[in-house]
Amino acid sequence: MARIRNKTQRQFERHLKTDDPLSLVAAMREQASSGGHEACLVFLDGLPGFFEAVAQTYEQYEDKNKMALRNLDLSSEELNEANRKLERLNRSMEAMLESLGPALLFFNKAGQCADTSSHSCLTLLEANPGGQYIWDVLKCTPEEKASFEKLLSLAFKNISAMTIEDLFRIAPQTYRHSQGLIIRLNYRPIFGQSGALQGILLIGEDVTEEAHYKALAKEREQQTEKILRLIQNRKDFMGLIAQIEAFFLSETPLFYEQISLVDLKGDLHTMKGLAGSFYMNDFVEVMQQLESSVVKQDTTLRSAFETIERVIPEIFAAIEDAKAFMQSIFGEAETLDPDSVSLRRKELLDFYRELCGAPETATLQKFYYQKFLTVPISDLLRSLDQHIRETAAALGKPMKASRLEGDNFRVPTGVYDDVFLSLVHLVRNAIDHGIEQSEERVIAGKSPEGLIMVRAELFSLMDEPWFRIIFKDDGAGIDTDKIRQRMRALGMDSSGQSDQDVTQNIFMPGFSSKRGVSVISGRGIGLSAVTQAVRKIGGSIFVTSETGKGTTFVIDLPFKEQAALLGDT
């Protein structure tokens, strides 16, 4: 309004030659009354121009007002159109989220889920995540929740040497669905323009069908591995079958002999472990149930025998299936005699030529002994690599191929069978108890893959030939505090023992510092079985350990050549 008043004032000055038109009109009235008309004529002459100027001013402002109103209408329409587009986009996004198969949700650094999520969350995660904490949505245990909170702290503060992807591997990888579905969880980081982590996208996928086909493929792969294992270790398999039959199924079973409950537990554990290495799953399952009954605290030797007798039919069926599978590979004529020896025609010819050309009996005896009564120790130890791969796969711990070092001397056949068969317990113990999970190894500055080294070497003890087997892993080492706690629980005093002495208690029957029992380990029997086999032939076993570096088992065995020659095995 002030602008219009000022502009009108300027028009008065321009056209009517006055800046006070009201005073001028009053003066003209006085002049007209007294007869003076000159000033009135000047005023009246300027009035047309004044009115024209005022009209133009109002027209200009009217045009501007119309333009402003038109612009306002356009802006309002654009705003309405933008709102309509946003609404359509929201509806499309909701429809897209509801139609997607995977469960999608977002959560922030506090673990709280956003209100926006896919409809599939209701079925795959059995919850509406909006406003909930991610660990509540995934039904995490208190330990998993604590791990999740630590993960978020490290990820959002960017204070971990681990990558985001490595940190996500610490989070739950599957959701425990009430209907038995297998829901795989994947985590994707969401970064802002500054590059800082803003949130995390969780993708839950139903992989039940995929897991089913993978299980079928794994079963076929296992069948192939089983066949290869039998072909490569036929003698070991036949020896195991004979051992099981002698123990359970003969007219005078070995478990009826003068055997202690401790030895019985060790024998059952060893047979279960060896059968597992040949994929005798039915037998392993029977042995697992049997072992669970026998290791109960109130079990007596008599009650253990009664339990064994009840499962003899199941053991018999499992052994018959294993023998039938063996014969399906090698033919009906295949003998299951573990003492049978297969010879190549070239070996027979070599033996014949040596026999014909032998200048003296001693040479022939040495040749015969080396050729038919001994085996390279590397052949006996090489099968451990297969045990390592299988145990690592079962426990989800990646392992490098085992390293076999040292001397490759020959040892008498049959003398050390129990010792080498029992070494499977060292493998299982090392991977289950010693080797850390990949994430823990990376944090500790180690390779994600664990390593087991086996070394064989000859030495002399009191002028007698001996040999040594060194079994070493690069795991976490033995926690002597846990060993002492277990000793206190068993009523043993460890106050006067060094850590080295305390560690030797792991060889005691039933001694295990691990909670929980599985087909792999946990009963405290495995290492006892190794010790029993070693001491049975006059050997010794010793363990050393370094926290964070690993554990080393040293087995010393007398070299028993005469035992092989006399057939005393």
Flag whether pLDDT at 109 surpasses 70. Answer: yes
- pLDDT (0 to 100) of residue 56: 72
Most confident of 52-56, 91-95, 188-192: 188-192
| Proportion of the chain in helix, strand, coil states, percent, rounded to 5 | 60, 15, 30
Regarding predicted confidence, which is higher, 421 or 347?
A: 421
CA atoms within 13 A on the CB side of 98: 6
- pLDDT (0 to 100) of residue 293: 80
- pLDDT (0 to 100) of residue 451: 92
- pLDDT (0 to 100) of residue 518: 42
Flag whether pLDDT at 524 surpasses 50. Answer: no
What stretches of 14-100 show up as alpha helix (H) in DSSP?
Answer: 21-34, 38-99
- The packing angle between helices 261-277 and 234-244, to 10°, is 140
**Lowest pLDDT segment from 49-58, 221-230, 298-307, 312-321:** 49-58
- pLDDT (0 to 100) of residue 515: 45
Contacting residues for 423 by C-beta, under 8 A, at least 6 apart: 381, 384, 469, 471, 530
Residue 204 has a CB neighbour count (10 Å cut-off) of 25
Band the pLDDT of 560: cuts 50, 70, 90: confident
Band the pLDDT of 521: cuts 50, 70, 90: very low
Tens digit of each residue's pLDDT (9 = 90 or more) over 110-127: 999 999 888 889 999 999
Tens digit of each residue's pLDDT (9 = 90 or more) over 455-513: 999 999 998 999 999 999 999 998 888 888 888 877 888 888 888 888 888 888 766 65
Backbone angles phi, psi at 450, to 5 degrees: -75, 165
Band the pLDDT of 138: cuts 50, 70, 90: very high
- pLDDT (0 to 100) of residue 396: 84
Model's pTM, two decimal places? Answer: 0.51
- pLDDT (0 to 100) of residue 267: 78
Sign of torsion, CA 301 307 308 309?
positive
pLDDT (average), residues 225-248: 79
Q: What is the 3-state secondary structure (H, E, C) of 185-196?
A: EEEEEEECCCCC
Tens digit of each residue's pLDDT (9 = 90 or more) over 77-86: 666 676 777 6
What are 280's two structure tokens? 């005798």
CA distances from 245 to 251, 273, 279, 335 (A): 10, 16, 17, 15
> Residue 432 in contact with residue 520, Cβ under 8 Å?
yes
Rounded to whole angstroms, the Cα distance separating 513 from 516 reads 10
> Residue 417 in contact with residue 537, Cβ under 8 Å?
no
Band the pLDDT of 256: cuts 50, 70, 90: low
Closest CA to 189 of 161, 205, 168: 168
With vertex at residue 368, the alpha carbon angle to CA 566 and CA 556, rounded to the nearest 5 degrees, is: 55
**Residues, the chain:** 569
User: To the nearest whole percent, how much of the chain has pLDDT over 90?
Assistant: 19
pLDDT (average), residues 223-238: 77
What stretches of 412-495 show up as alpha helix (H) in DSSP?
Answer: 417-429, 438-443, 480-489
Q: Which SS3 state, helix, strand or coil, does residue 224 take? A: helix
Flag whether pLDDT at 252 surpasses 60. Answer: yes
- pLDDT (0 to 100) of residue 301: 78
Contacting residues for 336 by C-beta, under 8 A, at least 6 apart: 238, 241, 242, 323, 326
What are 179's two structure tokens? 């209907």
> Residue 187 in contact with residue 197, Cβ under 8 Å?
no
> Residue 530 in contact with residue 426, Cβ under 8 Å?
yes
> What is the end-to-end Cα distance of the chain in Å, rounded?
121
Residue 287 has a CB neighbour count (10 Å cut-off) of 25
Flag whether pLDDT at 277 surpasses 60. Answer: yes
Flag whether pLDDT at 32 surpasses 80. Answer: no
Flag whether pLDDT at 522 surpasses 60. Answer: no
